[in-house]
């Protein structure tokens, strides 16, 4: 029974570690999404300036 309990605890620890890693990955991905949106905004400004320049 003691070996079984150790195995279960080890498995639970591994699952908890995996959950933490997944959570960290999710935070990183969300940060990348925000940065991507910011890049899109900058590109829109550049496009707008380029269009206005062509109008002159």
Residues ≥6 apart with Cβ < 8 Å to 4:
none
Three-point CA angle 23, 24, 28, nearest 5°: 115
- Output the CA–CA distances (angstroms, integers) from residue 10 to 1, 2, 6, 16, 52, in the order listed: 14, 12, 6, 10, 63
Q: What tens digit of pLDDT does each residue of 1-56 get?
A: 799 999 999 999 999 999 999 999 999 999 999 999 999 999 999 999 999 988 75
pLDDT of amino acid 10: 96
Distance from first CA to last CA of the chain, Å, rounded?
83
């Amino acid at each position: 029974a003691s070996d079984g309990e150790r195995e279960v605890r080890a498995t639970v620890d591994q699952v908890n570690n995996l959950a933490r890693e997944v959570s960290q990955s999710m935070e990183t991905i969300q940060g990348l999404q925000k940065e991507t949106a910011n890049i899109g905004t900058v590109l829109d400004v550049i496009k707008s300036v380029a269009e206005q320049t062509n109008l002159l």
